[in-house]
Amino acid sequence: NAGVTQTPKFQVLKTGQSMTLQCAQDMNHEYMSWYRQDPGMGLRLIHYSVGAGITDQGEVPNGYNVSRSTTEDFPLRLLSAAPSQTSVYFCASSYQGSSNYGYTFGSGTRLTIV
């Protein structure tokens, strides 16, 4: 099993550009989420999904869109990149039914907006 796969690993964007960060998992996890990590801020939840076709906002959703058309994929879209969105982005997944499982994180996407 590959676990949670994130692409790309690194990306530099210009202000105003759009892009999609990809996240795929092969563990049949119902729950998927996106976090951003900034120095001294821990991990902040952007958006999450409890199953295909269902998404909801986290703590810091502004400037980001998500969709969940399949169980496996949960892409994160930046509509118009801003320097404040420079961060490391992590996708995480887990089983939904039981709360006894921790999150499995992808290896992250380091995004720089110039």
Partner 1 sequence: GQQVMQIPQYQHVQEGEDFTTYCNSSTTLSNIQWYKQRPGGHPVFLIQLVKSGEVKKQKRLTFQFGEAKKNSSLHITATQTTDVGTYFCAGRRGAQKLVFGQGTRLTINP
Residues of this chain that bind partner 1 (CB under 8 A): 31, 33, 35, 40-45, 48, 50, 58-59, 90, 92, 94, 96, 99-108
Nearer to partner 1, 17 or 44 (CB): 44
Nearer to partner 1, 11 or 104 (CB): 104
Q: How far is CA 94 from the centre of its chain?
A: 13
Strand order in the sheet with 76-78: 4-7, 19-25, 76-78, 64-66
Nearer to partner 1, 14 or 98 (CB): 98
The distance of closest approach from Cβ of residue 103 to partner 1 in the complex, given in angstroms and rounded to an integer, is 6
Q: CA 98 to CA 39: how far, in whole Å? A: 31
The distance of closest approach from Cβ of residue 114 to partner 1 in the complex, given in angstroms and rounded to an integer, is 22
Q: CA 89 to CA 107: how far, in whole Å? A: 9
